[in-house]
Homo-oligomer: A and B are copies of this chain.
Amino acid sequence: METAEVIRTRRSVREYRDEPIDPSLLEELIELATLSPSSYNMQPWEFLVCREDATLRRLRGCAYDQPQVTDSAVTVVVLANLDPAAHARPILEDSFEKGYIESEQALERRIERIEGKRDDPLEDRRLWATKSTSLAAMTLMLAAWDRGIASCPMEGFDADALCREFGIDPEAYDPVMLITLGYPAEDAEDIVRERKHRRAVEELCHYESFEPDR
C-alpha cells in the first residue's frame, strides 16, 4: 500500500480474526522494524514474540487481564537494552569497513565514547533506549498494517510482573510496550467507529519560536 495511505488508515485495533500470522511474514515485519534509525545505530531493541496460547495467557496476566493479548495472533513485547554499548563493537567495526569512520583510532574512540555511556544514570539510559526502541515499534506497526495486520500498542502492563514472569532482568532490559498483532475483525469497533480526535496541526506546530498552549 502507499505509505501515506498506510499512515492515514492505520488504527489501533483490539479485535482480531482467529487467523494466525505466517511466521515468515512476521519475521519480515520485524526485519523492517530493524531498519529504523537508532542513536549511534546501537539498535537497543529486542522483541519477545509471544504466539502460543500458554505464553499469551501468561502475558495477559501481566497486562491487567486485557483480552486483546490472548485474542491477538501474536503479541510482541518490545524490550529496550539498557546497556548502550551492548553491540557497539560489531556495529562500529562495520561502519569503519564501510568508510563511515575514517581510521582505526577514530573507531576505538567511538567505541570508548559509547562504552562510557554505561556510566550514565539508569534514568538516562532508560530514556536513551526508549527513544530508539519506540522508533522501531512504530515502523513495525506501519509495516504490519501495510500487510493487512492490525496492531495495538499497549503501555497498560505491570513491567515488574512481566520481567518476573519471563525471567527478564529489569536492570538490563526495560519492557517499553506490548504490541498486539492480528488480522482485524471485520466489525472491530476501532475500525467501524470514527477515528479518535487528533490535535490540529496549527495547535502543535510552532514556527521559529515556541509558544506553549496555543
- Listed in ascending order, the chain A residues whose CB lies under 8 Å from chain B are 1-4, 6-8, 10, 12, 27, 30-32, 34-37, 39, 41, 43, 45-52, 55, 77, 79, 86-87, 90-91, 94-95, 98-100, 123, 126-128, 130-132, 134-139, 141-143, 146, 152-153, 155, 166-169, 172-173, 176-177, 189, 193-194, 196-199, 201, 204-210, 212-213
Contact = CB atoms under 8 A, between A and B. Distances in A.
Contact of A198 (B43, B51, B201): B43
Given A50-B208, A138-B138, A173-B212, 20 more contacts: A1-B3, A2-B2, A7-B35, A27-B205, A34-B201, A37-B152, A37-B153, A46-B204, A46-B210, A48-B206, A51-B208, A87-B199, A91-B197, A98-B194, A98-B196, A127-B127, A130-B131, A131-B134, A131-B155, A131-B177
Nearest to A136: B138
A138 to B, nearest CB: 4
Contacts of A155: 39, 128, 131
A167 B206 contact: no
Give the top 9 A-B pairs by smallest Cβ distance, nearest first.
A134-B134, A94-B197, A138-B138, A3-B146, A135-B138, A3-B6, A3-B3, A7-B32, A48-B206
